[in-house]
Structure 1
């Protein structure tokens, strides 16, 4: 789908461009969502660009993601999507900033893009320059990641309280496995967020170098503010990732402790029943030279001996602090 946003009635209005439609000459923002080959060609031919393919967007080399052709900046960053679901994803989004237009190419639909497009349709957005549209979209992306990181940090604190609560001793292996799954989900989301922040930080650094002395002062100031915001989010995401790793290690330690307690109980049971079993085996051999078997007190004696043989080792191990 190809949408063109142009100034209209005091705001930016988005129009879906059909196969036979011509791109508006005054379009400030062209948004390609899951573009077809024909839509990419239309943008390339109209603007004189060579939009990167999806394979190009997935390249991890910095030279493939951040480069300049003439006065046009080609920038690709990883952006999060579906963060409110059990399967958050991230994918490459390409921004092409020309002196007159901003072109975005993406194969995911992150919430910041939907929110910004909705604000444009409601005439809330009123900008006449492509670079300011770009800055506002980046603002929306960074703000969204800040919200996600804040929520993730709160969820991690809740999980931490569950792990180290006084009732943790009553938790079973199944409970800890559920906690591990939740920690794994948060760790995956945090990893994707750190990757996204890293690529956005590199993109802003590239912009700072490329736009210096070329763009207006408000854009340069905006970029510097975003750089500081991204750096602070990176620090916070590193803290959350470190805490997640600690909680995972602590949970695995608690699982090992519970399993050791189970083995300990089994060892105590074996220790208690082994001596009585030995005496029972001896008296169960039924040799003729075993006079106590023929006496009336033979059976009570064997019971008493087996009980004593079970109690004495238990008391000995308990006194030594091994139980």
Structure 2
């Protein structure tokens, strides 16, 4: 790095600290100090879009992955004319690391708090996109399981039941929840970006152009989330439909068995009664006639069911 570049980086860092104040949500002392020095009042905003004479309050909820756990983090931007205050889960906030790196590469973003907020929203949008990509990868890794579920048989040719697909269904439900939350995040990011665009003065046309691109990127990620949501819902519906068909087939088999054995059971019930006189018992061919009658009584409903096509 040249001495000029190092000087610019140092000046940018100094300006950044002056124009951007980070306040941890669990640090009342820092919140009080920020309120005294800037006049910011997050309590009045109450987690909603709120405008005062000095600040525009814009809340955003972003999904952040910590290892294998996905957590929802709330960030509130208080955008003023000369300073940006962020109420965030902690300081430093890992989701903003890429924004800080972007600001260092583009020092002119520190000229206004609007430029800093642009970089922060850009970083949050990328975090949200990575979460959606992760959910998409999860669905792709389940392709074989989903294919087996829709076909109805596993790799050994054994029929798949509800219990066999329980783990897959649970993971698909988790993916759907993640994508649904990401859709909400994109809506909040788009709203914050549009408010930011409205606050940019004509004296900063380049920043206005960057924010326009950001708005398009946020909308693009939202469309990606919508696509993934539709896909996971379709896969869920396919699996459930396949399992419902299988359950209906099982019920149909039991119904057919019941229909076939009901007439012979009725005949057996008659001859199981303890009547004093049963003429068939004295017939020479009584046993043969009764057996034949029972067999025919079983074949008649089976023939009727097959004729109706209910065995298909």
TM-score bracket, normalised by the shorter chain, equals 0.7 to 0.9
Q: Is the 8 A contact 1:89 1:192 kept in 2?
A: no
CA positional deviation for 1:41: 1.0
CA positional deviation for 1:289: 3.4
Q: Is the 8 A contact 1:35 1:105 kept in 2?
A: no
Q: Is the 8 A contact 2:40 2:78 kept in 1?
A: no
**Range 137-146 or range 297-306, more displaced:** 297-306
Q: Is the 8 A contact 1:57 1:76 kept in 2?
A: no
Q: Deviations over 1:277-320 (max 9, x none)?
A: 11111222243432332456544543443233223322331233
CA positional deviation for 1:223: 0.6
Aligned position for 1:213: 202
Where do 1:185-200 residues align within 5 Å?
185-200=174-189
The whole-number CA distance in structure 2 between the counterparts of 1:312 and 1:266 is 17
Q: Deviations over 1:240-262 (max 9, x none)?
A: 22233333333332232222112
The whole-number CA distance in structure 1 between the counterparts of 2:106 and 2:226 is 36
Aligned alpha-carbon RMSD (Å)? 3.4
CA positional deviation for 1:43: 0.9
Aligned position for 2:53: 69
TM-score, scaled to structure 2: 0.78
Where do 1:75-86 residues align within 5 Å?
75-82=58-65, 85=68
The structure richer in helix per residue is 2
Structure 1 residue ranges without an equivalent (≥5)? 1-6, 14-23, 60-64
Aligned position for 1:321: 309
Aligned position for 1:182: 171
The whole-number CA distance in structure 2 between the counterparts of 1:35 and 1:281 is 78
Q: Secondary structure at the match of 2:152?
A: helix
TM-score, scaled to structure 1: 0.76
Where do 1:134-149 residues align within 5 Å?
134-149=117-132
The whole-number CA distance in structure 1 between the counterparts of 2:16 and 2:125 is 30
2:34 to 39, 43, 49: 43
1:103 to 62, 85, 89: 85
The whole-number CA distance in structure 2 between the counterparts of 1:277 and 1:25 is 88
Instruction: Count the aligned residue pairs.
Output: 294
